[in-house]
Chains A and B, each alone.
Chain A
Amino acid sequence: METTFPHLLRQHATQRPTAPAMREKEFGIWQALSWSGMAQMVEQLACGLHAAGLQRGEHMVIVGANRPRLYATMLAAQSLGAIPVPLYQDAVAAECVFPITNADVRFAVVEDQEQVDKMLEVREQCTQLSHIYYDDARGLRNYEEDGLVSLDALCEAGQQFSTIHPGYLAAEVDKIRPTDVAAMFFTSGTTGNAKGVVHTHFTLIDRGRAGATFDKLGPDEDVLAYLPPAWIGQNIFSYAQWLVCGYVVNCPESAATVTIDLNEIGPTYYFAPPRVFEGLLTSVMIRMEDAGAVKRKMFHYFMDLARRVGPDRMDGKPISALDNALYALGNVLVYGPLRNNLGMSRVRVAYTAGEAIGPDLFSFYRSIGINLKQLYGSTETAVFVCLQPDNQARADTVGVPCAGVEIKVAANGEILVKSPGLLKEYYKNPAATAEVLSADGWYHTSDAGFIDAHGHLKIIDRVKDVGRIKGGANDGAMFAPKYVENKLKFFPHIKEVVAYGDQREKVCVMINIDMDAVGNWAERQNLPYAGYTDLAQKPEVYALIKDCVEKVNADLASDELLAGSQISRFLVLHKELDADDGELTRTNKVRRGFIGDKYQPLVDALYSGKSEQYIETVVKFEDGRSGSVSATLAIADTRTFPPVKAAA
């Protein structure tokens, strides 16, 4: 059943013309657009773009938030055989220059004044950008730049064209083949320029369908589209799968109203990165602290119960009749209202991906009856590589390969994927394509991982960061710094971790305590302290952290591959790692190499067996001044465990 996106639209518009295709909240009311309305809008836009000179095979950029008309524009471009290229709406002009030059873009469709200004700035360097269309006219009344036209005017021109040439678009749509290029997504390259990932109708539709079949998604789903459309995940959830399944995509009123809109729509199929789930949980917990004593008691009693039996219940394991009855009561009193408050009472399938999710956070959602799962994929694989089946969701794996996917692990631990959804190529970049796509069709993910005993894929780290222990008892064992760091960071008392061990005989870590959490804990323990540096060095805090580290060690010991990554020694840093001091990236990732150089005496002390070390550090304050912080840091040894075979 090979098809293309414009054909899918036509199919929905003829089979269920009055069913809603998209909704957008405007002026406080959810306004629905039917499939036939969508088809009509697409026809107008496509004819207008054709009349303006958009050619088959030409690229067109689309910049903006989730708006029905912008999605319609993507369909319009595809109907003409042109290729929509969504760009991130928060990218600055300089970042847009490369894609627009690279793909020789003449047409841009953007959301509002902010994006128009950006495109006009881009045009100073990319003079071929001759047509700029905007959706929202606000603030643009007095713009007189050449080639700047509203989408309303474009639709009108298209309407005129299609009245004169009624069968034009249908004929154009029939020329499109599934193997034609459907869209291009630019991935944020960490080094050098971004790369344009080219996908065909076939790759996107195949993966969209694989995901939909896996979770039995149908036309009755409701989805809230709130992440950037330029991100392939959003594009799959609110475009590819929208057309494959024919469900309703809901566009929020503005970025600030997403939580309100989430609550009103009550999506049945939901995606969010871990930080969104964390934010939602925090807001619930804070409000709970302010609730009356009876409510609070009830909440905590039932949350304890949920923690105990909830995950098993979700996984379909038997639980005792008493627990079952209590859970049912809890469902009425706590879990149901809580799900409703989170806007998740109707969620059938929720996914998280992108980064590791803490086990407590993950099981919180599952324990209150929300079917939260993880998936694995990337722009190059059109998202769906691995998915977790409903009753096998775990915090530390990313699921089993889904339909059509083959996975193998290379000698260096890298995960290789073969799937019908792999990218066609990187645009105008055969060298980069050859690097990731081998001649026999395997895609190199640059993620290191393995398939565990249950057939689930487990991601450890980026391949380039995975090291080896050298010398000592664990000579040659795999060392995955991020895996170790994440495991520690899942403890609420630990904010940041930097792990060392590559080419060394043991693993040592430097830890940042979480000031709020540890400060709170200290108050409850009646432990006086003078500030961050003082608190960090308290023997009680060391004992607290040591306990966390040893738990992680016990956990690592049960993992054959990673047992050698157990932590032998640690210290708690006297200052918070900060992006202003260059210790973190702007996206708050630790810069391991830089920190290692900056705190060389501490790293040396960790490996030389000293029990304390004096350090003085220069810090930059937010107002630009700098000062210095000095302290004598204690170094603690921790217990490690002999590797145990995981019980199968």
Chain B
Amino acid sequence: MSKKIGDVILDVKNISLSFGGVKALTDISFDVREHEIRAIIGPNGAGKSSMLNCINGVYTPQQGNITFRGQTFSHMNSRAVAEMGVARTFQNLALFKGMSVIDNIMTGRNLRIKSGLLMQALRIGPAAREEEKHREFVENIIDFLEIQAYRKTPVGQLPYGLQKRVDLGRALAMEPQVLLLDEPMAGMNVEEKQDMCRFVLDVNDEFGTTVVLIEHDMGVVMDISDRVVVLDYGKKIGDGTPAEVRENPDVINAYLGTSH
């Protein structure tokens, strides 16, 4: 199996972020190429989620800039980021628990629905036709993620592993070019992890989506990602293919500890 990795699509340069006196990120630079799976790993508190939040526009870094598809930003705007084709999932799941799986994933189509609120509410004019079109797209995602059996189940009643899948489904509904996954395998059992790995690989393979993922589980990361960035205490300590990173002495120290 071979896949074509393209040019740099997302370039992060010299990002520093601090909250008061706490330095969350110090001078971080790395790039993401089109169609690759890029992992950000590191111990707890290393600044992984902060990094994702900078890309995503939730946090504004004090220094540095981010280049996305040739456009350089000193801070990203959440809505603009979404409109540019970057979607994300959340570590702690931010789904609408009382709504069905279908409706949750439908919310991911929000940016693409053109008809107004009133027309949608009354299902008049082009609104009904448009909803049908979006529903078809959502059904494709449901089929893709193999959650047909839970279509109409309220998300709150689903086991955690399936909720994670719905979260991914909602991100996919945006038809993203870049998918940011914040610990997609956290809290899952082995089987659920394997399923999730397969979905991430399939998304990357089938739609050519570029994936940036944060993960704790080293085994998972090493198996599925093309390149890995390693953070520790807000600093970048390693960057390269899984094999290179595994050999990196700083990474070994950060994960296994050093003898002082």
**Chain A contacts to B: CB under 8 angstroms:** 25-28, 138-139, 141-144, 253-254, 256-257, 260
Contacts and interface: CB of A to CB of B under 8 A. Distances in A.
Contacts of B1: 142-144
A28 B205 contact: no
A226 B140 CA distance: 22
A142 B5 CA distance: 14
B3 interface: yes
A138 B139 contact: no
B2 A142 contact: yes
B142 interface: yes
A257 B149 contact: yes
A27 B139 contact: yes
Contacts of A27: 136, 139-140, 142-143
B141 to A, nearest CB: 10
A28 B142 contact: yes
Interface in B127-148: 136, 139-140, 142-144, 146, 148
Contacts of A254: 146, 148-149
Listed from nearest, the 8 A-B pairs whose CB atoms lie closest are: A27-B139, A256-B149, A142-B1, A257-B149, A253-B148, A257-B148, A28-B139, A254-B148
B205 A139 contact: yes
A260 B136 contact: no
Given A28-B142, A138-B202, A256-B148, 16 more contacts: A25-B148, A27-B140, A27-B142, A27-B143, A138-B206, A139-B202, A139-B205, A142-B2, A142-B205, A144-B1, A253-B148, A253-B149, A254-B146, A254-B148, A256-B149, A257-B149
Mostly, the B contact residues are helix
B99 to A, nearest CB: 17
B205 A141 contact: yes
Contacts of A141: 205-206
B151 interface: yes
Contacts of B136: 27
B148 A28 contact: yes
30 contacts: A25-B148, A26-B143, A27-B136, A27-B139, A27-B140, A27-B142, A27-B143, A28-B142, A28-B148, A28-B151, A138-B202, A138-B206, A139-B202, A139-B205, A141-B205, A141-B206, A142-B1, A142-B2, A142-B3, A142-B205, A143-B1, A144-B1, A253-B148, A253-B149, A254-B149, A256-B146, A256-B148, A256-B149, A257-B148, A257-B149
Contacts of A138: 144, 202, 206
A253 B148 CA distance: 7
Interface in B106-143: 136, 139-140, 142-143
Contacts of B3: 142
A25 B143 CA distance: 11
Nearest to A253: B148
A143 B1 CA distance: 6
Contacts of B142: 27-28
Contacts of A260: 149
A141 B139 CA distance: 21
A253 B205 CA distance: 24
Contacts of B139: 27-28
Interface string B140-176: 1011101011010000000000000000000000000
A254 B3 CA distance: 29
Mostly, the A contact residues are loop
Contacts of A28: 139, 142, 148, 151
A490 to B, nearest CB: 31
Nearest to A137: B206
Contacts of A139: 202, 205-206
Contacts of A26: 143
A214 to B, nearest CB: 35
A260 B150 CA distance: 10
Contacts of A144: 1
Interface string B1-20: 11100000000000000000
A229 B139 CA distance: 27
A256 B140 CA distance: 17
Contacts of A257: 148-149
A253 B144 CA distance: 12
Nearest to B147: A256
A253 to B, nearest CB: 5
Contacts of A253: 148-149
Contacts of B146: 254, 256
A129 B245 CA distance: 41
A27 B137 CA distance: 9
A343 to B, nearest CB: 14
Contacts of B202: 138-139
Nearest to A113: B202
A257 B151 CA distance: 10
Most A C-beta atoms less than 10 A away, residue of B136, B140, B149 = B149
Contacts of B149: 253-254, 256-257, 260
Contacts of A143: 1
A641 B73 CA distance: 92
Most A C-beta atoms less than 10 A away, residue of B1, B136, B142, B144 = B1
A239 to B, nearest CB: 24
A28 B205 CA distance: 25
A253 B147 CA distance: 10
A502 B144 CA distance: 56
A231 to B, nearest CB: 23
Nearest to B102: A28
Contacts of B205: 139, 141-142
Nearest to B144: A138
A141 B206 CA distance: 7
Most B C-beta atoms less than 10 A away, residue of A27, A141, A254 = A27
Contacts of B2: 142
A150 to B, nearest CB: 14
A309 to B, nearest CB: 37
Interface in B169-212: 202, 205-206
Nearest to B151: A28
A139 B206 CA distance: 7
Nearest to A143: B1
A260 B2 CA distance: 39
B106 to A, nearest CB: 13
A260 B221 CA distance: 36
A1 B2 CA distance: 56
B257 to A, nearest CB: 28
A185 B143 CA distance: 31
A524 B3 CA distance: 63
A142 B2 CA distance: 6
A144 B3 CA distance: 12
Most A C-beta atoms less than 10 A away, residue of B139, B148, B202 = B148
